[in-house]
Amino acid sequence: MYKIMTAGPSQVRQNVRDARALPCTNPDIDPAFYDFYHETCALLSKALHTDQTAFILGGEGILGLEAACASLTEPGDRVLVIDNGIFGKGFADFVKIYEGVPVLFTTDYHEPVPLNALRAYLQNDHDFKYATVVHCDTPSGVLNDVEAISRLLNSYGIMVVADSVAGMFGEPLDLGKSCIDILCGGSQKALSCPPGLTMIWVSDRAFRAMEERKTPIRSFYANILAMKNYYKDQWFPYTMPVSDINGLRQALDNFLDDPDVFDRHARIAGAVRETVRAAGLSLYLRSGMSNTVTVINVPDGITDRELLKEMAEDYNILISGCFDVLAGKVVRIGHMGESCNRPDVADTLCAMQKVLEKHGIRLKCDMKQTFLTLTK
C-alpha cells in the first residue's frame, strides 16, 4: 500500500472504511435513510457555520462545479470567471457547455486574487448573472479570500459560485459570513473520504434564480433544483450511494470532534514551506499559500516524472505532479485531512531528499530533521 501524500485524494481513517462496510438499505424507499441523509446535511451546514441548505450528490467533486453552472446558466448569460489558477480558469468550460458567455478576470497565478483590482474592474463592468471563484486552486496551491470576494461581488448584485473542494475542512471557511450562493466541496480532500461524493451548499437566492429561469435546466444529473424538496417529498432524483454517505458521515464526525484541525493544518503547512526554503528548493507561489497543499518547483537535474516515479517505487509514497500550464514544472505535497500528520509528512520530505540527492541535487539541510524540529 502506498502512503498517499498527494494533493487529493488523501488518506482515509479506519473508522471511515468501517462505516462504508455497514449493511446497506434501499435509500429510495427507506424513511430512516432520508432522516440520516437530512441529519448529515445539517451537520455539513453546522461545520461551515451556516443555515444554507446542504446536499450530498453522488459523484466526484467536479460534479458540484458543473451542477452549479448547469443549474444557473442560461444561453447568453454573462458569467465572470475569476481566473488566478488552472481550476479557476476551468470554470469557463462549464459556462460554455451551457451556452453562457464566460468573461475572464485574470490575475497573476503566483498570488491570491487582489481584491482592490477586482473592485476596480467591477466599477467598470458588473453586468454578470453570477461569478465563479476558487478557494484553494489545487494545481498552484493558492488560497483566495472567497468570503471577502463574495461580499464584494454581492455589493453589485452578482451571485457567487465558489469551489472549495481542496480548501474546506483544512482551511477555515465561515459560509455564514460570506455571500456565496453555491459552495462546492468534495469528499476526497481534507474531509478524508474516498472520492465519489460532492457536497454543495445552496442559498435561497440561487434557488430563486433556478426557479425563475426562462429555459429548462439542460441536465438531469447535474440539476440542483431536482434535489430541493427531497426530504418533503421523500424522493431522490437518483439512487443515493449509501455506503459512500455512511463513510462521509463518519469522516464529518471525525472533523467535528477535532478542535485542533485548523491549527494542525497551519502548523504542518508552515513547517513544510520553511523546510523547503531551508533546503534550497523554491516554492511556486510568492504568497497566499494554502494549508492543504505545498507546490514546489522542480529543480534542475531531475524531471517531475523521475521524482514521482522514484518516490513511489523506492519509498512507497505518492505525491502529485501537475498539468496544463504547470505540467512538468512543479510537484505537490498534500498535507490535508488524514495526511496532515507529523510522521507521514516527515517521511515524505525524507524520501524526496533521498531521490533528489540520488540525482546529484544536494540540499542545504536534512529536510526530515528540520521539519521535525519545526513541529516539536
Answer whether 334's CB lies under 8 Å from 320's CB: yes
Give residues with Cβ within 8 angstroms of 304, minimum separation 6. Answer: 298, 321, 322, 328, 329, 330, 331
The string over 247-257, giving b where at least 16 C-beta atoms fall within 10 Å of a residue's C-beta and e elsewhere, is: bbbbbbebbee
Residue 158 in domain = yes
| DSSP per position, 92-108 | HHHHHHTT-EEEEEE--
Answer whether 333's CB lies under 8 Å from 321's CB: no
Regarding pTM above 0.95, the answer is yes
Do 223 and 347 fall into the same domain? Answer: no
Q: What is the pLDDT of residues 268-324, one digit of tens each?
A: 999 999 999 999 999 999 999 999 999 999 999 999 999 999 999 999 999 999 999
Do 105 and 251 fall into the same domain? Answer: yes
Residue 361 in domain = yes
d(CA 40, CA 17): 17
Q: What's the grid cell of residue 53?
A: 441548505
Number of domains in the chain: 2
Q: What is the CATH number of the domain that holds 119?
A: 3.40.640.10
Q: What is the pLDDT at residue 14?
A: 98
Do 232 and 317 fall into the same domain? Answer: no
Beta bridge partners of 56: 199
Q: What is the pLDDT at residue 307?
A: 98
Do 29 and 156 fall into the same domain? Answer: yes
Identify the burial level of 107 via C-beta atoms within 10 angstroms of its C-beta, where 0-12 means exposed, 13-18 middle and 19 or more buried. Answer: buried
Nearest to 289 by CA among 263, 270, 262, 268: 270
Residue 81 in domain = yes
> Residue 309 sits in which domain range?
260-374
Q: How far apart are the first and last CA of the chain?
A: 28
d(CA 158, CA 130): 5
Q: What is the pLDDT of residues 202-231, one digit of tens each?
A: 999 999 999 999 999 999 999 999 999 999
Do 185 and 166 fall into the same domain? Answer: yes
Q: What is the pLDDT at residue 251?
A: 98
Do 160 and 223 fall into the same domain? Answer: yes
Answer whether 129's CB lies under 8 Å from 72's CB: yes
Do 197 and 243 fall into the same domain? Answer: yes
Length of the chain (residues)? 376
Helix axes 342-358, 261-278, angle to 10 degrees: 20
Low-confidence ranges of the chain (pLDDT < 70): none
Do 216 and 188 fall into the same domain? Answer: yes
d(CA 160, CA 214): 20
Listed residues 234, 256, 278: the one ending a domain:
256
Do 274 and 177 fall into the same domain? Answer: no
Q: What is the pLDDT at residue 188?
A: 97
Q: What is the pLDDT at residue 43?
A: 98
Residue 8 in domain = no
Do 102 and 251 fall into the same domain? Answer: yes
Q: What is the pLDDT at residue 59?
A: 97
Do 231 and 117 fall into the same domain? Answer: yes
d(CA 44, CA 56): 9
Answer whether 244's CB lies under 8 Å from 58's CB: yes
d(CA 150, CA 170): 20
